[in-house]
Every structure is written in C-alpha cells, then in structure tokens.
Amino acid sequence: MSTFTRPTFNADDDDLERLQQEFFANQQKPAAKVIRKGDSSQQQNKRSVFAERLAKEKDTGMPTLEDVEYEPVMDPHPEPHVPVSKKMIDLTSMLGQVLGDITEHTVDKVTPPSLPEEMPNKPARGQKDGFPKPVHRSEFKRRLEAKRNNTKPPRPEAPPQVAASTPVKASSESLLDSSMYADENNRRIQEMSEQELEEARAEIMNTLSPESVAILMKGLKKKHTEPVENKKKVTFQEPESSKDEGQELLEMKNKYFSDVPIENEKLAWIDDRFLTNELKEQLQKEKEEDKSQASEIEKVYRKVRFDLQGNIINDHEDIPVHKGLHHHGDEPEKAGYTLAELFYLMRSQVPSQRAIVLSTVSRIITKAKHQQSDETWWKILRVFTGKEHAAPIYLRSALDDRHLIALVGAVKALAALVLDLEDDWEETLIAKAVDFNRFLGHIAHPVLPSGSRALERKGLNDKLSELVDRVRQQSGVADEGEKEDDAALAEQDLARALIKMNILPRIRYLIASENRSELIQGDPASVELLVRILVQLAEAGEDVCDSIEEEELIEPVVQWGIVKTQWPMTDDGNVFVYPSLAAVRLLTVLAQGSKHIAEEIVERMTSLLPFLVTNPDIACDSLKRRAYALQLETLKLLRVLASYGFIAPILESSQEPVMDWLRVVLDKKQRDTRLQGIRASAAIELLE
C-alpha cells in the first residue's frame, strides 16, 4: 500500500514541494500515466488502392531529358573569365559639368583681430582685462545720498561705444544724443554776444521761409507753456416726465380729491414729501431702536454663555476645568458655550458632539419660552426666531442627519422651537374639548401673520418642478439668497417656512413603517414629537392641511399611532405601545381644515371604534386621563365629520356606550367625575 498522502485543502506551497520530493525519492509507482500522442490532424490519411495505383502509373511514365546522359562539348577558343560587376554612377563626372574648378586665393597680409574703437565724445567706463568695473545698480540709493549731501547725483558712466559701419536705430541712444546736442546748443547760445545773436537771427530769416519760421516759433511756444488737458464732459438731458412726476400726484389730488384731507402717515410710503417733521422723527427713532435692539441681540448671541443644561453662566463665576465646560473657542479661558459656538458645533463631524449640542439648544429654547418676562431670555429667544442668524434653517438641516443619536437631538430642538411644550398636553386637550362643546364645534379660520400668505395648491407640473429643485438642492449647496428668503419667512410664519424647506417629506420618511426607520424602533418619543409638530403645522391654516394631505402623511400616522398599538391601557410599563393622542388630534385638525380631507378620514374611522366602546376606567391610574382624552378627541372628530354630513360607520356601534355615559351622569347615586361630565356633554352635542 502506498504511503503517499494526498495534499489537503489548506496545504501551502512548501507542503506540496515536500510531498513532491518524497515521491521522487521513494521512486513510488504512480497511480496513473500520461501518454502523449502526436496531433491526429498532422497525420496523413491512408490512401486508397486506386490512388496508390494511379500514383504508381505516374511514376513509371516516359523518360525525361534529364534522365539521358550526354558527353560535354569543349570550346576550341576559350575566353578568359571576367567577373560580373554592377555599373555604378560616377557623381564626380556629373558634378564637373555643373560646378567649376575650386581655386584658392593667395593672401599677402593678415590683419590680427583687435578691440573695437571707442567713441571720442563718450568716455568709456574703466575696464581691466576686458571686464567692466562693478557698478552699484540701485539708482534710488544714489539719489538719496545726493539729496542728503545737497549735491547733484553723479551722471552714470556711459559704456564704451563702438563705431558701427551701419547706423543702428535705438530709441534710448537717440534721446541721449538729442539731449546732449540741445545742451551744447544752449551753451553756445549763452556764450554768444548780442551782435552775434543778431547776425545769426538775420541769417536764419534770410535762409528759411516765413512759413518755416512761424512753425518753429509755434513749437517754441508750446515748450514753454504747460500742457492743459481738456476733459470732455458728457451730460444727459433729463426726461421731462421725471421732473413732473412728483407734481402729478399733488395735481391729481387737487383735481379729483380736493375735499379729502391729506393723511400724511398713510401717503408717506409713496413719496418723501408727505413726511412731516413728526413722521421723520418717528421713523428715525424706530430705526435707532431697531439698530440698538439688533446690536443688543448680537451681543447676547456672541457673549452670553451657557452650560450643557441650558443655564446661563455668570461671567464672574469661577468654574473648574474638570467640569468640561472649557473648550477651544474664541475665549478659551471662559467656561461655557455661546450661541454662536453652539450654532457652529451643530455642523460638527462627530455625531455625539452634534447630539450634545442639539440637546443643549433644545433646553435653551425651552427655558427661554418659559422665562420671556426676563429681558435677557427674551433676547435669547429672539436669536432663534429672528432672521439674522437663521436658526430654523440650522435645525431643519439637522433633521436630515443619518445618525440616530443626532437625529433624536434634532427632533427635540425643532420641537422646542415649534411647539409650546406644556407640562401636561393631555390636560390642555381636555380643556379644549370644553370650548369645543361650548361653540358647537365651529372653528374660526386662523389669522395669518403679517407678511405671510397661504400656500397654493400645486398641480402635476408644479410637483415635478419641485422634485427637480429638491434633487438639485441635494446635489449641491443652497444659494445664499434662498437662505435669506427662508430665514425672513421663518421670522414671520414659521409653519410655512418649514414646509417650504421640505420638512413634510422628511417627516414622512421617518414615521413610515415600510422604510424601517430606526427612529420608530429606537426612540418612539421622537416620533410622537414629530406628529405633534404636524399638528402644530396643520393648525396654521387650510393650505397647510392640503400640503400634509398631498404628501400622503395621513396613512403612516394612522398606522403608527392607532392601528399598530395595544388597547386597553392596563399597564404603564411602556406607554409608547398604546395609541397616540397626537395622531387622533391630527385627524381632527385635518378634518376641520378641509372637507375633502374629512371625506378621506371617514374611511379610517373604524380603527377608532375601540376608544368608544371600552370604558376608560379600566385603564391603570397613571393612564386613565390619557384614555379619557383619547375618547374625547374621537368624539370631537365624529362631531366634525357630522358637520360636513358624513356619517361614520362606528356611530351605530357606539350608541349603547353613549347611553351608558348619560346614565352615569344622570344617576344621582353614582358620583360622576369632571371627565365623565365633559364626555357626556360631547356625546349630547354629537347626538344633536
């Protein structure tokens, strides 16, 4: 039996080489042999019998001439052997017909080379061994030394000039020659006497023509007079309409409204002439107040420091370094963070750092809303609501974070800015149910803030254009002008500014169950805050409700907050597995906003039936008030739908529970509570 071991799967090259050496050393018999054969295509096929006979007949044919042998015949007069050579072209013979003979001249005297001669009028610079002396090239230092010594700067030595056989034109040499000639002429004229000058003048007058003399005199005058530049002035003729435009307003008023008194404060925006002295002083005072207020807010933005809990740090307080409030900011020796530093750290590359900063900002906003009576806190809140620092844009951008820890902080900060975070929201909704019953469910249209306008319903083309713009924004950086527009709109109308910043698609992605959002699994409290933000936005007006409906947010909210929940609320271990009060409240507000939205909500009312047929008293004590709030909000929703003429299918199933509610209130033996009384009042209004 062979002792050879086959290589395993994990054997490396060294193991394979060792096994090969053992195989050859032991001369073991291989299990198989490889016999190589020649290529079958190269082998000739065996010919048939007929082909062999035919080839044999061809080989035994007539004898050819090559087979006959002859004796050679000798030449009686042999010639000598001459080797064959190629005929070459003789270029020398051909050039003789074109070129003549080359002859050499005899030279009697040879002149050796010499240095070029120097010009007599221009002294050469001192030279030695053919090299010029070194010259300092800084002309500025020469003039400065001459000025200090009150002497004229020495004239630079001219380089040696070579007498050239052909004249060379150079601008610098011509200027130098002309100045030298002019100086020499002036010197000679000064040395001449009066008689010599008269003789020279008479000679010139007799030699030149009067026209030439006039041209020379004219050029002489131009040299003595300083040149004066005549600047061209361009004037535009003012249109007549601009001159009479201001008078037309008064003429029209005197012609058509002569009896109407002039109200300067209402006409001041048309023309400054309507501004009286009092109005001018008032406008100037308002500008100064706005400027001073802006400077004070900027001071708060740059100087006031906060700790991580959102509290203001006193400048004179000595905080140790181990508290972790010192950092590499504008003033590293001071503890705490300014709002400017917090806004900068919102864009940090570290997710945990972004989360801490956003949580700190949410605490600051919450405390500023609760302490608006304090001037400092009011200015702090003005930083977040004003357009100067664009705080809503920072918070909206933070909502696009991909890390869960930073996303939770962004939701808290945005909720602190948008919502009025009451300590007990359930009690607030119960109190609103009392007013709802008092005014028979009629809700007044909200008054838009000054400077804002309702959102327009968008068609298919508008939605496509908006989608393209959204893709472009994601691929690049937003324009500075667009940021300023969003910040200005956020100062006037925060709800519509957030919708313009595409907050609805982001919320839909975060609360949609089919997207498997980490926020739903990791932090349901943040999802509850997002739904409450939707409620706050929907209360801004019908146009916002239409935008929420167009974004298809109703279905994911109903699925998360109502359908996929547990009922009744008998255990207070995990309160987020129970129905969301904010989800039911959103349906009520949307139904109040538009009739076509209410018609869509009617189809989803079946999921609210358990809230009506189940007695809230069976809930645990900590969640009993929440169960009553859910029941009251469902009754309000049914009342709104009935006002439109929509009859929900759950009304028939809820008749018996409604009668029980009324019996409890009317029975004197049973002591009814405040919540039971509000519920009975809402039921009576529904039956009417």
pLDDT of residue 652: 77
83, part of any domain: no
Give the mean pLDDT of 123-145.
64
**What whole-number distance in Å separates Cα of residue 1 and Cα of residue 306?**
87
CB atoms within 10 A of CB 641: 22
pLDDT of residue 247: 66
Which of 33-47, 300-314, 545-559 is the most confident on average? 545-559
379, part of any domain: no
**What are the C-alpha distances in Å from 538 to residues 321, 395, 494, 548?**
47, 20, 12, 8
Q: Where are the alpha helices (DSSP H) in 304-390?
A: 339-345, 351-370, 375-385
pLDDT of residue 215: 81
Q: How confident is the model at residue 551 (pLDDT cuts 50, 70, 90)?
A: very high
Structure tokens of 325? 């409030």
pLDDT in tens, 366-423: 999 999 888 889 989 999 988 888 899 999 999 999 999 999 999 999 999 999 866 6
Sequence letter at residue 279:
L
Dihedral-angle region of residue 150 (phi above 0 means left; psi in -120 to 50 means alpha; beta otherwise): left
**What are the C-alpha distances in Å from 136 to residues 91, 139, 153, 157?**
64, 8, 13, 12
Question: What phi and psi, each to the nearest 5 degrees, are found at residue 422?
Answer: -75, 160
Query: Which helix (DSSP H) or strand (DSSP E) does residue 408 occupy?
Result: helix 404-418
Sequence letter at residue 404:
L
Q: How confident is the model at residue 444 (pLDDT cuts 50, 70, 90)?
A: very low
Using the predicted structure, report yes or no on whether residue 173 has a pLDDT greater than 70: no
Give the mean pLDDT of 543-557.
93
Instruction: Output the CA torsion sign for 414, 381, 355, 522.
Output: negative
Using the predicted structure, report yes or no on whether residue 356 has a pLDDT greater than 60: yes
282, part of any domain: yes
pLDDT of residue 165: 45
395, part of any domain: no
**Structural contact between residues 530 and 537, judged by C-beta atoms closer than 8 angstroms:** no
Give the mean pLDDT of 119-147.
64
43, part of any domain: no
**What whole-number distance in Å separates Cα of residue 310 and Cα of residue 371?**
13
- Domain count of the chain? 1
519, part of any domain: no
Q: Which residues partner with 118 through β-bridges?
A: 162
DSSP assignment letter at 668:
S
294, part of any domain: yes
pLDDT in tens, 277-306: 788 778 777 777 766 666 788 888 888 899
Instruction: Provide Rg for the chain, Cα atoms.
Output: 54
**What are the C-alpha distances in Å from 245 to residues 242, 249, 258?**
5, 7, 19
Q: Which residues partner with 306 through β-bridges?
A: 312, 337
Per-residue exposure over 315-334, b if at least 16 CB sit within 10 Å of its own CB, e if not: eeeebeeeeebbeebeeeeb
Using the predicted structure, report yes or no on whether residue 466 has a pLDDT greater than 70: no
Q: Which residue has the higher pLDDT, 329 or 185?
A: 185
**What whole-number distance in Å separates Cα of residue 684 and Cα of residue 669?**
21
Q: Which residues partner with 338 through β-bridges?
A: 305
**What whole-number distance in Å separates Cα of residue 500 and Cα of residue 490?**
10
**What whole-number distance in Å separates Cα of residue 528 and Cα of residue 533?**
9
What's the angle, vertex CA 615, arms to CA 573 and CA 570, rounded to 5? 15
Pairing relation of β-strands 337-338 and 305-306?
antiparallel
**What are the C-alpha distances in Å from 659 to residues 67, 627, 673, 680?**
140, 19, 17, 9
278, part of any domain: yes
Q: Which residues partner with 403 through β-bridges?
A: none
pLDDT in tens, 412-442: 999 999 998 666 778 888 888 777 766 544 4
Give the mean pLDDT of 125-152.
66
**What are the C-alpha distances in Å from 594 to residues 197, 586, 588?**
113, 13, 11
**What whole-number distance in Å separates Cα of residue 492 and Cα of residue 472?**
27
**Structural contact between residues 312 and 339, judged by C-beta atoms closer than 8 angstroms:** no
Q: Provide the domain limits for residue 262.
A: 258-303
- Rounded to two decimals, the pTM is 0.56
Q: Which residue has the higher pLDDT, 222 or 161?
A: 222
CB atoms within 10 A of CB 371: 13
> Which residues does 546 contact at the CB level (< 8 Å), separation at least 6?
455, 457, 593, 594, 597
